[in-house]
Amino acid sequence: MCGIFGVSGVDRAAELTYSGLYSLQHRGQESAGIVSVDESLHVHSRRGMGLVQDVVTPTALSELPGDTAVGHTRYSTAGSSVLVNAQPCIVNYHHGPLALAHNGNLTNATQLRSDLVRNGSIFQSSSDSEVIVHLIARSEAREPEDQILDALERIEGAYSLILTVGRTLYAIVDPRGFRPLVVGKLNGGYVVASETCALDIIGAERERELQPGEWLKIDDGRIKNLPDLEPKPHRRCVFELVYFSRPDSVVFGRSVEATRRALGRHLAREHPAPECDCVFSVPDSSNAMALGFAQESGLALEHGLIRNHYVGRTFISPDQSSRSAKVRIKYNPVREVINGKRVVVVDDSLVRGTTAKSLIQMIRQAGAREIHLRIASPPITGSCYYGIDTPTRDELVASNRSVEEIRQYLGLESLEYLSLESMLAAAGGDQGSYCHACFSGDYPIPPPDDKVEGDAASELIPATRNNRP
């Protein structure tokens, strides 16, 4: 997953981008980058592995002048976790400097890339985003917009894009609208971002969300709609609401906090645990769900687990490398809350189930008499090919286990998942407009041939997962 951010027509665009990326850090901690374009069309860039505050030092920031900027924060698969894949991509092509930040995943990138290489294109990275740039450069159209359109007509998959050619900024969302993109106003210019929280941090006024297939051009403080891409059925990623986005953002027209509260309420209705003494969340990503559950069920809300917020590149010694030690570094149970109690634990989702297993053990050791786990989304049974780095099917705890088998594996008194219907009801709006392939197997675009199974797996839930609030 990635966070993207762009500025057009506001002074110190790179500083705004820095703050924007900082608030989008939960969308990717692997690498970060900012590209700025100054009045003389000179391009300045800083990209590197790590958090934006590590990559873009104050000195680096001071060397990114201009009123136009694009930023990217990346959260990628293990195999390609290398500097050369850090975005934004920057190239000099015949129309001048082009910078591109991409959130999503192309499903036909392998084929396109292989065609391009056969014709003499030289790739610098293994990222699918570079394919887009080469398609633009190879286009035989004369104007940048036509070249971009040529490229968009050939790519398939999920893409929210921020792109600059010279000092003109384009913001584009694929016709299915998998990933969010919003536009805001600030000091006579415009700002584009993956989530509204990135507008808030810089004090920009939320203008509106881009619709699927929408394409904006921003230039000299003027914003203009280019013709929409050819329409397709909408497929908004429901996991953005369930897990990925920040609770203070509005995504797909919905308050994330409110949606999660609704998920908790639906969960309490579908799977109450009336005999229990209290309910608590796996902080922080499930806080809203636990609150919703408590309010709906009438069970007492507690803080049963405390997170250490100084998480990061903590060294874990060989002696501590067991999963349970890793979990202990991030969470500590509050014994006084748990001891002797029948507790409901609310979590947003279960991916591999390994962290949950250790958490359950920890809660048990803190004296819980019964543990009832409630998951505010359905079982994840398949990988995502549209931008979320889920592991391969084999690694998903629910891919070939029944709920009862998972309950036993985790060592629980009870385990319940929210149903697909309730999840979509809580998400609200047009329930047919969501992509829920990882839960339902209903893939709106066929997975790429080379990914159907046995894919070199990546982690959905890395060490820093729950830094999201």
2, 89, 276, 438: which one is catalytic?
Answer: 2
Minimum gap (Å) between residue 117 Cβ and a second copy: 5
**Cβ nearer to a second copy, comparing 82 with 425:** 82
Minimum gap (Å) between residue 364 Cβ and a second copy: 14
Spatial separation of the C-alpha atoms in residues 228 and 80, rounded to whole Å: 32
Minimum gap (Å) between residue 93 Cβ and a second copy: 6
Q: SS3 for 17?
A: helix
**Cβ nearer to a second copy, comparing 48 with 444:** 48
- Give residues with Cβ within 8 angstroms of 449, minimum separation 6: none
> What kind and span of H or E run contains 124?
none
**Cβ nearer to a second copy, comparing 301 with 420:** 301
Spatial separation of the C-alpha atoms in residues 129 and 101, rounded to whole Å: 8
Minimum gap (Å) between residue 23 Cβ and a second copy: 6
- Residue 218 class from Cβ within 10 Å (0-12 exposed, 13-18 middle, 19+ buried)? buried
> What kind and span of H or E run contains 43?
strand 43-49
- The angle subtended at Cα 27 by Cα 26 and Cα 29, nearest 5°, is 70
- Give residues with Cβ within 8 angstroms of 62, minimum separation 6: none
Torsion of CA 401, 442, 194, 60, to 10 degrees: 60
Is 2 one of the catalytic residues? yes
Could you tell me whether strands 370-375 and 215-219 are parallel, antiparallel, or unpaired per DSSP bridges? unpaired
Spatial separation of the C-alpha atoms in residues 146 and 16, rounded to whole Å: 30
Minimum gap (Å) between residue 223 Cβ and a second copy: 23
> What kind and span of H or E run contains 263?
helix 256-270
Cis peptide before 58 (omega within 30 of 0): no
Between the alpha carbon of residue 412 and those of residues 363, 368, 407, 408, 409, the distances in Å are: 11, 11, 5, 6, 8
**Cβ nearer to a second copy, comparing 144 with 247:** 247
Residue 246 in tokens: 């920040």
Minimum gap (Å) between residue 154 Cβ and a second copy: 14
Minimum gap (Å) between residue 121 Cβ and a second copy: 7
**Cβ nearer to a second copy, comparing 257 with 455:** 257
Helices (H), 271-353: 287-297, 323-330, 335-338
**Cβ nearer to a second copy, comparing 319 with 450:** 319
Active site residues: 2
